[in-house]
Amino acid sequence: MIVVLNHGATEETINRISEKLQQMGYGVHRSTGKKRTILGVIGERREEAAQTLEAMPGVEKVVFITRPFKLAGREFHPDNTVIEIGPVKIGAGELVLMAGPCAVESEAQLLEAAWAVKEAGAQFFRAGAYKPRTSPYSFQGLARKGLSLLEKVRRETGLLIVTEVMDQFTVSEVAESADILQVGTRNMQNFYLLRELSKIRKPVLLKRGMSATIEEWLMAAEYLLSGGNYNVILCERGIRTFEPYTRNTLDLSAVPLVKQLSHLPVIVDPSHGTGKSNLVPAMSRAAVAAGADGLMIEVHPNPPEALSDGPQSLDTRQFAGLVEELKGVAQSVGRTL
Ligand code: PEP
Ligand code: MN
């Protein structure tokens, strides 16, 4: 359930109600909104507890949340969550661009890609140091060495870094190099990893599992929120369907739907969503029109030579052209880029 407090409830009142909830055996998550404060109450549903609370001064009403995702849902947090990372705000209206190669391959490849995406207008550089590959014979990533190259990119270009963390054992290592830790589609329901990530405060980009329903995706986000990490960004990256012409089916209807259900920002990845570089521009435009808070796009200086995901990667010139096109789309839907 959630306890909606009166407009202008004082800190003292809020603390008194929180203490009462704790005495009753409930966990309390506070959400301070622009208009009012809401307390998310975690624990068993009890009518008499709701009645006791409703009688307390400062309480406007007690509402039972019917959806299984309590903290990720809009009922608990009616305002959009805005995640601030350095000078960048995600979810505040201005679109964010996360761009870069699938994998960290070498210093030269990384810096060339980074300067190009920065020049084109990206705020974040993406590249995996730890790579979850379908085949054990494919390039597996540069691991720790890759992370130090990403740190060099940040030092030299000022770009913020998004990179994948694959297991619970490397969370602190990746968190030292990353501004956003990415959970890949294959790990969306790795609950040990989610629990570990819930203990840190760095933002997590939670990609949708390739076979996950929207509810399963939001429940994965709930693991992060319920452990105390509220800095969660969702990323739609396509789901697996019967269609073989594309690598995945980019579910753009998920964008407005998730935004209705949840307060968390939503990013779209049209690169993994289609698997084809020539589909990326159209799906990027569509994602912006559908209300995405940003895009994650794979960009490689020389896609035919890429060690992973070359067929879906734009080259640096194509990326710069796409960003120009997106400015007009953003403007037409009341966003800026
Ligand atoms: C990636 O971003 O390179 C990646 C592996 O993504 P996903 O987990 O969506 O396949
Ligand atoms: Mn990739």
| Domain spans, the chain | 2-63, 83-332
- The whole-number pLDDT of residue 228 equals 92
- What residue ranges line ligand 1, CB within 6 angstroms? 102, 128, 132, 184-185, 207, 237, 272
237 CA closest ligand 1 atom index: 9
d(CA 79, CA 43): 23
Strand order in the sheet with 2-5: 27-32, 37-42, 2-5, 59-63
Residue 51: how many CA atoms within 13 Å on its side-chain side?
Answer: 3
Q: Which residues contact 298 (CB under 8 A, 6 or more apart)?
A: 99, 100, 101, 102, 126, 271, 272, 309, 312, 313, 314
Amino acid code (one letter) for 248: N
235, 269, 296: residue to mutate for ligand 1 pocket, most atoms within 8 A of CB? 269
Q: What is the pLDDT of residue 32?
A: 87
Global confidence as pTM: 0.95
Q: 184 alpha carbon to ligand 1 midpoint, in Å?
A: 5
Q: How far is the CA of 273 from the centre of ligand 2 (A)?
A: 10
What is the distance in A from the centroid of ligand 2 to the CA of 12? Answer: 50
pLDDT the model gives residue 321: 98
CA of 131, closest atom in ligand 1: 5
pLDDT in tens, the chain (337 residues): 999 999 989 999 999 999 999 999 999 999 888 788 999 998 888 899 999 999 999 999 999 988 999 999 998 899 999 999 999 999 999 999 999 999 999 999 999 999 999 999 999 999 999 999 999 999 999 999 999 999 999 999 999 999 999 999 999 999 999 999 999 999 999 999 999 999 999 999 999 999 999 999 999 999 999 999 999 999 999 999 999 999 999 999 999 999 999 999 999 999 999 999 999 999 999 999 999 999 999 999 999 999 999 999 999 999 999 999 999 999 999 999 9
The CA 113 to ligand 2 mean position distance, Å, reads: 15
End-to-end alpha-carbon separation of the chain, Å?
Answer: 38
Name the residues around ion ligand 2, CB cutoff 5 A. Answer: 102, 309
Mutate which of 104, 163, 182 for ligand 1? The one with the most ligand atoms within 8 Å of its CB, which is 182
According to CATH, the superfamily of the domain at 2-63 is Phospho-2-dehydro-3-deoxyheptonate aldolase; domain 1 (3.30.70.1140)
- Which residues, 6 or more positions from 191, have their beta carbon under 8 angstroms from its beta carbon? 223
Give, in order, the Cα–Cα distances in Å from 324 to each of 121, 300, 332, 337.
9, 18, 14, 9
Whose structure tokens read 């400015």?
A: 327
Where helices occur in the chain by DSSP H, the ranges are 11-23, 47-54, 107-120, 143-157, 171-177, 191-198, 214-226, 254-261, 270-274, 280-290, 316-332
Q: Give the Å distance between the CA of 116 and the centre of ligand 2.
A: 18
Q: Ligand 1 center to residue 185 CA distance, Å?
A: 6
CATH class of the domain whose range is 83-332: alpha beta
Exposure of 224 in the CB half-sphere (CA atoms within 13 A): 29
Q: Which two tokens stand for residue 47?
A: 């009518």
Do the Cβ atoms of 220 and 193 come closer than 8 Å? no
Nearest CA to ligand 1 atom 3: 102
- Using one digit for the tens of pLDDT, what is the confidence trace for 279-306? 999 999 999 999 999 999 999 999 999 9
DSSP string, 129-175: SS---SSTTS----HHHHHHHHHHHHHHH--EEEEE--SGGGHHHHH
Query: Ligand 1, atom 10: nearest CA belongs to which residue?
Result: 185
Interatomic CA distance for residues 212 and 307, integer angstroms: 27
Give nearest CA residue, ligand 1 atom 5: 184
- How far is it, in rounded angstroms, from Cα 184 to Cα 220? 12
